[in-house]
Structure 1
Amino acid sequence: MAMGPVSGRGGKRAPMADINVTPLVDVMLVLLIIFMVTAPLMLAGVPVDLPESAAGALDQDKKPITVSIDKSGEVFVDDKPVQFSAIDAQFGQIAATSGKGKDAPQIFLRADRGLDYGRVMAVMGSLNHAGLNRVALVTMGADDGAAGAEAP
């Protein structure tokens, strides 16, 4: 919207006071599409067929440590494979470098649905033995298929 001529100043016009928001909206829509496409690709890298649960997601303040067990029984700590015989040492090292009590890291345990229950309990026992007691079991939501965590 242009302003009319200013009287008393030799007939000069005032500057335009409008902001064209169309390019801003275009850029924001492109960014929204990019984030919508890339967000599902940022999930954990170990393919695990999670069981379903009606439990809601947990609140989290720090980035959790993800322990995954695939269908063959291989254990991964944050997408890095760990030999089953060395998980006690790995969990002990995590416990030694992190705080205790409320400062202890949150552990998200992801285990394949078809996995032997004893294998999952052995990993949970190793976590408990190392002093990592803030463990949440990750499941798929029963109604929408979204990932959530169920407190033990």
Structure 2
Amino acid sequence: MQVQDDDKPYDDINITPMLDLAYVLLVIFIIMTTASVQGVKVNLPKASASVSLAKPQTKAITVSESGQIFLDAFPVTLGELEARLRTQKAVTPDFPIIVKGDAGVQYQKVVDILDLLRRLDLSQVGLVTGKQPGG
């Protein structure tokens, strides 16, 4: 006759909650690393406060110091920019756009881009600035 011992401690640990946590952290890491806006490095003008408008579908328009226009790090002319934005608007009618202009660029270039965005009826537009030193 065999006697069962009910007071025996458990020999194994349930690792399912730990694996769930690891998977959640992995998903968060993947989302955070791929959600950043691609662009070209420019010297941004300074402002007292800046707001991040980075979203997964955000388009970044950058004007370099030489006046070259970039759409998501790809050089474009003003006509190509208009065509690509019209195509994007057909797919996603109300997508956010951020405009980054170098501090040394001619103001007219940025105004031309803002005028183009107004003509295309794109209203979710943000201007990117850098932080002021010490602020």
TM-score (norm 1): 0.60
- Structure 1 segments (4+ residues) deviating >3 Å: 13-19, 42-45, 58-63
Q: Which of 89, 110, 119 is the aligned partner of 1:120?
A: 110
Aligned match of 1:84? 78
Q: Kindly state the Cα deviation for residue 16 of structure 1 after the two structures are TM-superposed.
A: 6.7
Stretches of structure 2 that go unaligned for 5 or more consecutive residues are: none
**Does 2:97 align with 1:107?**
yes
- Identity percentage over the alignment? 27
**Partner amino acid for 1:112?**
D
Matched residue type, 1:93: T
Q: Using the TM superposition, give the Cα deviation of residue 131 of structure 1 relative to its aligned residue in structure 2, in angstroms.
A: 1.4
Contact 1:74 1:84 in 2 (8 A): no
Number of equivalenced pairs? 121
Per-residue deviation, 1:45:
3.8
Alignment equivalent of 2:40, drawn from 41, 46, 52: 46
CA apart distance, 1:113:
0.4
Q: Which has the higher contact order (CA 8 A, sep 6+)?
A: 2
CA distance in 2, matches of 1:143, 1:86: 36
**Matches of residues 1-152 of structure 1 in structure 2 within 5 Å?**
14-15=8-9, 44-58=38-52, 62-99=56-93, 104-143=94-133
Q: Which structure has the larger Rg over C-alpha atoms?
A: 1
CA distance 1:56–1:83, shift in 2 (3 Å): closer
Distance of aligned partners of 1:89 and 1:138 in 2 relative to their CA distance in 1, 3 Å threshold: same
CA positional deviation for 1:58 = 4.6
The answer as to whether partners of 1:95 and 1:131 remain within 8 angstroms in 2 is: no
Segments of 5+ residues of structure 1 without an aligned counterpart are 1-8, 146-152
Partner SS for 1:127: helix
Computed over aligned residues only, the root mean square deviation of the Cα atoms, in angstroms, reads 3.6
Task: Mark the CA change 1:45 to 1:106 in structure 2 (over 3 Å): closer, same or farther.
Answer: closer
